[in-house]
Amino acid sequence: MDAYRRGRLKIWAPFLLPLVLTLGMVIGFKLRDSLRSKRRLDEIIDLIKDKYVDTVNNKLLYKDALGGILKSLDPHTVFIPVEEVQGVNDDLDGGFSGIGVEFSIIRDTIEVTNVIENGPSAHAGVETGDQFIKVGDSLVAGINITSGRIIRLLKGRQHSDIFVTIRRPGIDSLKHFPITRDIIPIYSVDASIMLDSITGFIKINRFSATTYDEFSTALKKLMAQGASRLVLDLRDNPGGYLDAATSIADNFLDDNKLIVYTKGLHAPKTEYKAGEKGVFESGRLAVLVDEGSASASEILAGSIQDWDRGVILGRRSFGKGLVQKQYELPDGSALRLTIAKYYTPSGRCIQRSFAKGRDAYMNDYEKRFETGELTGNDSISPGDTMRYYTSNHRLVYGGGGIKPDVYVPYDTSHLSSGLYTMIYSPEMKAAIWDYFIHNRAKLKYKSIADFIQHFDGQEQVKDNYLAMLEPAIRKKVIKELSKPVNDDYLLLQVKAQVARFLFRDNGYYAISLKEDNVVNKALEVLNSDQYSQLISGK
C-alpha cells in the first residue's frame, strides 16, 4: 500500500511542484505590493514632515490618509478615534461608570434634575435641585460650561472616588460629597405605558446589550395590566446589536420563522430564526418607523412586515442594509467595518444607494423634505424597483428602506420653527425648572393618571416664561401664541415636561403622545377592520 502511494506521489510530483511555486509567487507579489503601498504612504508622510514649509501634525496626516482609504467604501465603514471608542461602546453595552445623576444646564448652572435610585449619588446624599459648583478641583459653574465637559469629569473608573461641591437651594453654606463611581445603566427602552385599557406602548431608542431584557420586562408588565395589543415605537432608532433585534422579533413570530439572514464575500450566509415560544405571537401589533429608523430597527420592522405579523406605520425608514463588526486596533482606536448585507425574510436588501457619495447619502433627509415625502407626498417609491412579496403576497420593494403599510406624514400644524424655538428655548427650560423647584412640595400625585387629571400649572409656567423675555421678543411670542393650535401645543409640552420630572419618561410620553399623529393613527388602525384588511393583502 505504501509503495502504491509513493508511486502516485511520483506521478503527480512534476505537476505539484510548479503549482506550489506559482502559488508562492502570486502570494509573494501580493505581499510585495502591499508592503510597497504601506512604505509609499510612510515615505510620503516622512517627506512632508521633513520638507514641508510649515509644521505638520503627523497624527492628522495619518487620519486624513485613513479617511481617504475609507471614502471609497460604504458610508457605514468608519474609523473611531481613541477618545470616542469608550462613548460608542457605552451606548451599545448599556452602561458606563459614573455617579448616577441626570442634569441640565440652566442659566449657566448645572442643575441636578434626577438622582438615579440606589445609585452612587443617592447613597452619598445628593438630591434633585442641587447645583454643582465643583467636580474634583474643576470649577463647573459659569458661562461656557458644556454638558460634554461635565460628563467627562463625572465619568471614571468603576469604584474610583470623586469629590463634588454643591450648592443646595435654601442653604447658605456649600456641601461637599465624596462619591464612589459605579456602573450606571443607559436605558434603551424610553417608555412603556398603556395608551388605553387594552393597548400597550413601548418606545425603544437603540438596540444595546440590555435592550431585550428591558423590552421583555416592559412587555410582561403591560400584559399584566391588560395589554392585548401593542404599539412598538422604533422612530429615530438608529439600530445597534443585531441579536437584540432578532430576540425581540422572536417574541412576535412563531414556528421557526426566518427573521433575517446575512451574507458577505467573506461572511458565510447566516440565518436567524424564531425559536422559543414568544409571549406576544398573536395580539394585534403596530410598528412605528420613520426616516431615523435604521439597521436593527429595519430588521425588526422588515420581519414583521414580511410575515404579515403586524402593520407598519409612519414614514419610509432610513435604508441601511449593511452589517458592521467593530475591530479594536493596537492604539485603542477601532475600525467599524461592513462585513455583510442583511436580507429580510422575503429576500430583500433595503440598503439605500450610496453611488453619489457619502455627503449625498447622509443628506437624504433634506432631499426627502424637499420632495414633500415627509410632509404629505406618499408617491415616492424606494430606489430599488425589485419586487418582493410578503407571506400573504403583498407587494414590497427592496432598496431605499422599509416603506410603511400606512403612511403618516409629519404633523405640519406643529412644524412652526417659531413654536419649536419657544418650547426648547433656554427661557422655557428655566421657567419649567423654576416652577418645579418652587412647587415640588405640593406636586404630589398618586399616579400619572392623577397628574394628568389634576395638574393645572401650565399657565403659570407660560406667564413666567413670557416675563423672562425681552419686550420685542415677547411681542412676537404672544402673536405666535394667539393661534389656539400653537398655544394648546405649547401648554401640552409644558405639562409633559413637568410630568417628566415627576414620573420620568413614562410621564412625558403619557402626555405628549396625545398629540402624536402617528400614534393616533396606529390606534385607529388597531381598533378597526383596516388592520386585518392590511395584513391579509385585501
The tally of domains found in the chain comes to 3
The CATH number linked to 118 is 2.30.42.10
pTM of the model: 0.88
If asked whether residues 246 and 358 sit together in one domain, one would say yes
Catalytic residue among 306, 364, 384, 405: 306
Question: What is the extent of the structural domain holding 173?
Answer: 95-185
Catalytic residue among 155, 320, 403, 429: 320
Residue 232 CA to residue 280 CA, distance in Å, equals 12
Tell me: pLDDT of 312 over 90.
yes
Asked if residue 530 belongs to a domain, the reply is no
254 is catalytic: no
Name the domain boundary from 157, 185, 213: 185
**Per-residue pLDDT reduced to its tens digit, 102-126:** 999 999 899 999 999 889 999 999 9
Q: Evaluate the CA torsion angle 57, 60, 62, 68 in order and state its sign.
A: negative
3-state secondary structure of 114: strand
Beta bridge partners of 397: 387
What is the per-residue pLDDT for 40? 66
Distance linking the first and last C-alpha atoms of the chain: 71
Residue 276 CA to residue 406 CA, distance in Å, equals 30
If asked whether residues 112 and 146 sit together in one domain, one would say yes
**pLDDT interval class at 384 (50, 70, 90):** low
Sheet holding 199-204, edge to edge: 189-194, 199-204, 229-233, 284-289, 311-314, 406-407
**pLDDT interval class at 492 (50, 70, 90):** very high
Asked if residue 331 belongs to a domain, the reply is no
Asked if residue 256 belongs to a domain, the reply is yes
Name the domain boundary from 372, 391, 411: 411
Asked if residue 125 belongs to a domain, the reply is yes
If asked whether residues 361 and 378 sit together in one domain, one would say yes
Q: State CA 134 to chain mean position distance.
A: 31
Catalytic residue among 295, 317, 346, 512: 295
Least confident interval from 136-150, 253-267, 422-436, 451-465: 136-150
Residue in the block written with cell 502570486: 26
If asked whether residues 364 and 352 sit together in one domain, one would say yes
Asked if residue 37 belongs to a domain, the reply is no
The CATH number linked to 246 is 3.90.226.10
295 is catalytic: yes
3-state secondary structure of 63: helix
**pLDDT interval class at 14 (50, 70, 90):** low
Q: What is the mean pLDDT of residues 62-71?
A: 80
If asked whether residues 386 and 444 sit together in one domain, one would say no
**pLDDT interval class at 520 (50, 70, 90):** very high
What is the per-residue pLDDT for 406? 96
Per DSSP, 232 falls in state: E
If asked whether residues 399 and 314 sit together in one domain, one would say yes
If asked whether residues 122 and 250 sit together in one domain, one would say no
If asked whether residues 350 and 445 sit together in one domain, one would say no
Among the listed residues 465, 403, 411, 466, the one whose alpha carbon sits nearest the alpha carbon of residue 434: 465
Inter-CA distances, 313 with 43, 207, 515, 521, Å: 55, 20, 16, 8
Single-letter residue type at 106? I
